[in-house]
Amino acid sequence: MTTETARVEAFSDGVFAIAITLLILEIKIPAPGSGILSTQLLKQWPSYVSFLISFAFIGIMWINHHRLFTYIKRTDTILMLLNLLLLLMIVFVPFPTALLAQQYRLNPNLRAPALLWNGTFILLAAFFNLLWRYAAHENRLLDKKADQQAVEAITRQYRFGPLFYVVSFGLAWISVPASIALNLFMAVYFAFPGRKPRSPRDFPPAL
Amino acid sequence: MTTETARVEAFSDGVFAIAITLLILEIKIPAPGSGILSTQLLKQWPSYVSFLISFAFIGIMWINHHRLFTYIKRTDTILMLLNLLLLLMIVFVPFPTALLAQQYRLNPNLRAPALLWNGTFILLAAFFNLLWRYAAHENRLLDKKADQQAVEAITRQYRFGPLFYVVSFGLAWISVPASIALNLFMAVYFAFPGRKPRSPRDFPPAL
Amino acid sequence: MTTETARVEAFSDGVFAIAITLLILEIKIPAPGSGILSTQLLKQWPSYVSFLISFAFIGIMWINHHRLFTYIKRTDTILMLLNLLLLLMIVFVPFPTALLAQQYRLNPNLRAPALLWNGTFILLAAFFNLLWRYAAHENRLLDKKADQQAVEAITRQYRFGPLFYVVSFGLAWISVPASIALNLFMAVYFAFPGRKPRSPRDFPPAL
Amino acid sequence: MTTETARVEAFSDGVFAIAITLLILEIKIPAPGSGILSTQLLKQWPSYVSFLISFAFIGIMWINHHRLFTYIKRTDTILMLLNLLLLLMIVFVPFPTALLAQQYRLNPNLRAPALLWNGTFILLAAFFNLLWRYAAHENRLLDKKADQQAVEAITRQYRFGPLFYVVSFGLAWISVPASIALNLFMAVYFAFPGRKPRSPRDFPPAL
């Protein structure tokens, strides 16, 4: 954390932390007197799954944000605006996730909420790319001593993000479960840093 | 971030981050069984617009707060009290914005909520000026090495803030849409730093 | 902010920032269709007063917490536990304040909620004293270069806090408005730093 | 706080601070007109106890997190993922605690909610161990100058955590009050740092 990006990181940490913590508000205590407690709790399982998935996605996006800002060491107005766009989507993630969980209980046809959920990740991946490419273009805002291979590894890993999410969006028209599964796979893919170009022996990725 | 202003900035970052994240709580999942999901979601569009506008305004105000504190390097009780006044309005912004969105659906006459919304920004602009003028008066709390032209550019840019919002307030008596549009224009105006006095070639503003 | 107390301060800043921002959740948008908007908004005035008072109290307590930690430079388990006790009361403040506002509309006899409200401040003042005295006792956790007169000024100013709040608590049995007024006066008193002992010319207090 | 772990700590502080502050949302102002105020307030006592216990547990876990990160000075993807697991449980703690408080009023048989509550602490203790053991294994991510005795003291203290919580889980099948009491005892045990191995005179533990 340099002096210059310290507040951008602190503000972003705050937004990530609040967004991830507010998720618990969606898990309600069962109303009294409506049956056996354990049955009531088990019936809420889509809420728990929604909570876990939102928590994992926001957490992994925080790891990615943290990773980018180990290289980004300067800031300007455009970077702050791009960062706000990214945070806008982070704050939004719990809404389509909770909607998907709610619809699961109501409606055999999950296509509409799955598309909204997936569409959120297309935008998120696009905004991550925008932020990174703006900062990394000719090392505009990067640490002057940044490891060029690591920088390129991020660029390469991120390039495929929007593409995969678009594929997943299309897949939802054929099979909603397959589309959701591909989204979850992408989360795991982005949890770990990209492979550096010239050190193939580093795979599985050096942590 | 200097040692002395670090906590003022950290506390303010927290307030901005929470205020901007709490906005999502206003977007509700449609109640089950009341129609086609996509129709229900589309009918909520004033909530989305309110969310986006509040997010943009709070985000841009955070950028401005961050910009001021790249120059403010010392703190005292009065600065902290003025900063609290500013944060009070930041925390309040979502209320008139949500009210405007709700009234849009109910009431053809938006004058009253538009005036409340606009009035909030008059106070915000006034408190931004108060904070900055207190800190910048004879460089009271500024970095001793602060670029004087940049300091003057901020003073000049901020001077017009309250004035424009007062004009916009008056405009609401003639045309509510024109008043709202002027408020949105002001948000964009304050997203970017003020023009430095002696470097006209710098326009559009150096970021 | 030293390395050692950085996280205690960051965690406390987070709690203060969230507690002060959550206050806005108590201000509700009027339900649609129940009268003229401006009348509805005005009828909510006890909520606004409660919001302003809670905001001012938590803000001023943050300023005091900040002031103490400009001198406290080391930390230990007991300090962290005492700090947690203090934060517990900070988090609690909005509850008795909102209760007082609600009862104002319902009940001519405000003694019970005023006593609860005032009792909260007795505990808060006591916990501020405990924290400070633990840290300042023989300079246990203070900056070794701390200005001894400033340290003594804080000790002296804080000594009277619990006493005044106990007086105010007693006063509520005679006159509730007088008791509330004394609480508000105390808030202003604690907004500014205590008078240093040997520099009477410093009054009004150097900021 | 080193540069490298600064954001992990800041993000974690945010999550702890929000989780501990959101607890107050569970304490509701009594509905107007349903009896004498003080009686209504007293009837809510299980909510207050639940609030206090959750506050104490999250606060003590924050102290432990803080303690671990005075030794952990480097970070990697696996540490961040383990930290996210830990934060997941922190965010979850208020749910089983509030459930236990609600059931207390409804149901003489508290076994099910007590088991859920206790089970949360088993996972929390396990995740604390995982995080610490991953970081401390051959000093992987620790400060190179870390006091080895203090490191071993933490490892030893933490080793018994999951075990005790499992015992407490079993105890709930015999006596729910005894199980709850053992959980509270454990909170106090973890509030203070572990005993260093070779300085038995240090007990009670040096703070």
Instruction: Check: CB of residue C13 under 8 Å from CB of residue B10.
Output: yes
Q: Chains touching chain A at 3 or more Cβ pairs under 8 angstroms? A: B, C, D
Question: Quick check: B110 pLDDT over 50?
Answer: yes
- Round the average pLDDT of chain B to a whole number and report it: 88
> For D156-191, how does the pLDDT look when each residue is reduced to its tens digit (9 = 90+)?
989 888 999 999 999 999 999 999 999 999 889 899
User: ipTM of this model?
Assistant: 0.88
User: Helix or strand or coil: residue D79?
Assistant: helix
Question: Quick check: D79 pLDDT over 90?
Answer: yes
- Share above pLDDT 90 across residues of chain D, in percent, rounded to a whole number: 55
- Residue D92, judged by CB atoms within 10 A of its CB (0-12, 13-18, 19+), counts as buried
Instruction: Return d(Cα B123, Cα B108) in angstroms, integer.
Output: 26
At B1, the pLDDT band (50, 70, 90 cuts) reads very low
Instruction: Check: CB of residue D76 under 8 Å from CB of residue A40.
Output: no
Question: Quick check: B30 pLDDT over 80?
Answer: yes
Diameter of chain C by CA atoms? Answer: 64
Question: Quick check: C78 pLDDT over 70?
Answer: yes
Average pLDDT over residues B105-128: 89
- Within 8 A by CB and 6+ apart from B12, the residues are B65, B83, B87, C17
Instruction: Return d(Cα A161, Cα D18) in angstroms, integer.
Output: 31
CB distance A9–D14 less than 8 Å?
A: no
Question: Quick check: B23 pLDDT over 70?
Answer: yes
Task: Find chain C residues with C-beta within 8 A of D205's C-beta.
Answer: 77
Instruction: State which residue of chain C sits closest to D1, comparing Cα positions.
Output: C3
Which helix H or strand E contains A114, and what residues bound it?
helix A111-136
C-alpha distances out from residue B107 to B97, B99, C31, C42, Å = 15, 11, 13, 18
Instruction: State which residue of chain C sits closest to B98, comparing Cα positions.
Output: C29
Rounded mean pLDDT for each run of 10 residues along chain A, 207 residues in total: 80 95 89 80 89 93 94 94 96 91 81 92 94 92 88 90 92 92 90 68 45
Question: Quick check: D205 pLDDT over 50?
Answer: no
* Residue B72 DSSP one-character state: B
Question: Quick check: C108 pLDDT over 80?
Answer: no
Instruction: Return d(Cα C41, Cα A149) in angstroms, integer.
Output: 59
Amino acid at C60: I
In the prediction, which pLDDT does A193 show?
A: 86
C96 touches D at CB < 8 Å: no
Count contacts between C and D (CB, < 8 Å). Answer: 83
> For D88-125, how does the pLDDT look when each residue is reduced to its tens digit (9 = 90+)?
999 999 999 989 888 887 777 888 899 999 999 999 99
Question: Quick check: D202 pLDDT over 70?
Answer: no
A57 touches D at CB < 8 Å: no
Task: Find chain D residues with C-beta within 8 A of A14's C-beta.
Answer: 14
In the prediction, which pLDDT does D1 show?
A: 44
User: Helix or strand or coil: residue A56?
Assistant: helix
CB distance A20–D77 less than 8 Å?
A: no
- Share above pLDDT 70 across residues of chain D, in percent, rounded to a whole number: 92
In the prediction, which pLDDT does D198 show?
A: 52
In the prediction, which pLDDT does A109 show?
A: 80
Least confident of A189-193, C22-26, C73-77, D107-111: D107-111
- Mutant choice from A8, A9, A11, A13 vs D, greatest count of D C-beta within 10 A: A13
Question: Quick check: C101 pLDDT over 70?
Answer: yes
Q: Match 């607890």 to its residue by tokens.
A: D23
CA distance A201 to chain B (A): 41
> For B75-105, how does the pLDDT look when each residue is reduced to its tens digit (9 = 90+)?
999 999 999 999 999 999 999 998 988 888 7
Task: Find chain C residues with C-beta within 8 A of A17's C-beta.
Answer: 14
D8 touches A at CB < 8 Å: yes
Question: Quick check: C203 pLDDT over 50?
Answer: no
In the prediction, which pLDDT does C130 show?
A: 95
In the prediction, which pLDDT does A182 show?
A: 92
- Within 8 A by CB and 6+ apart from A206, the residues are A193, A196
A31 touches D at CB < 8 Å: no
In the prediction, which pLDDT does C161 show?
A: 86
Question: Quick check: B205 pLDDT over 50?
Answer: no
In the prediction, which pLDDT does C1 show?
A: 44
In the prediction, which pLDDT does A196 show?
A: 66
Instruction: Return d(Cα C2, Cα B3) in angstroms, integer.
Output: 8
- The dihedral sign for the CA sequence C165, C168, C173, C179: negative
Closest CA to C190 of C17, C82, C63, C93: C63
- Mutant choice from B18, B25, B141 vs C, greatest count of C C-beta within 10 A: B18
